[in-house]
Chain A
Amino acid sequence: MEILIVLEDNHGSLHRMSKEAIAGAQKMGGSVSALAIGSNAESLAAELSGTDLTEVITVNHDLVSSYNADGYAEVVKQVVETEGPKTIVAGHSYQTRDFMPRVSAKLDIPFIPDIISMDDGFVKQVLNAKLNASVTTGSGQMILSFQSAAFSEDDIVSGECAPRSFDVDLDSSVVRSQSEEPFQEAAGDVDLESADLIVSVGRGIEKEENVPLAFELAEVLGAEVSASRPVVDSGWVESFRQVGSSGQNVSPKLYFSLGISGAIQHVVGMKGSKNIIAVNKDPDAPIFELADYAVVGDLLEIVPKLIEALQTE
């Protein structure tokens, strides 16, 4: 086995980033297998029955029926020790960030996280995404995680694969933490993930009193309103409108970004947008690297005039 993909169970089905990891792993070449852990392992494997993989290894054990870092790290360790993959791959999800460093330390295998491309070594963003770094390792084995949308699930090569159950040796002394049921704090009725047009507001809006400007622009465009994390943390916009690694992942026809600098945590949630118009005072704002239209200027001056112009259209 050359590559082992550690799959993630997202409320009963395969996590989007696991699918992207499969596309990335297939691109690397060599034999690719996947590992599904937990009470849904068989159904995750079944989702992949039409995918070109050597096999899907399934682990189902009472101590890892649902996710916990202690158990998952131990399971991945045992599978890697037995199967000996050169490369262990996962999506750079919150869950991967939670347990994969433990695997790295247990096995003394380097973990290169948050990779955006493999065109020139393993490329990751550094210094707030202002520079890229090409990272390499001299180690015989390595762990990689791919940033959201680094690869596309549309590129998954189809074929066949069968599940194989793997017996782990776990006892309760390994799982020291007790995990309660996951819960949602505020669920709104806004469906950002399927919205066609989005007006998104960032710190550049300056004050809570200015936030209605974004809603007015959205109204004349027939768009939904989203926000970046700092605006949500300030309590100016509800948390269910947050876009980014800790919020929603959106890919609208138009993402109209107002005063968002483009921190990487935000960008991973919206870079799949078909068209991006970004308004920002700072000509060096990272969001402009991504934008189709980079409007350098004061949104507090531009947006009211734009609303007025659109009303007369």
Chain B
Amino acid sequence: MIPVSHILILSATLFFIGMYGFVTRKNLITMLMSLELMLNSVNINFVAFNKYLYPGKLDGIFFTIFIIAVAAAEAAVAISIIINLYRTHKTIDVGAATELKH
């Protein structure tokens, strides 16, 4: 059986790759993908802990499915925002949208 630490290392790696992508990429689509990576790393954690700590229960699995569903909805919203941004700014570069500052 694979020790839990391996899985946690995988999840942490995925999370930080996602985080790195989120803060460095300027393209919103790439940022969205990075965000999905971070969500999935969390999902892996849920599944792993469910299996190793409470093998008889399914709570962790359900939560994972719930997160996937929410992530899908969120992607839909995010993409619609991106499309709107493209319409108004003619770009999907995140650096172009700094109106909040003013």
A and B form one complex: no
A binding-site residues for B, Cβ under 8 Å: none
Which residues from chain B sit less than 8 Å from chain A, CB to CB?
A: none
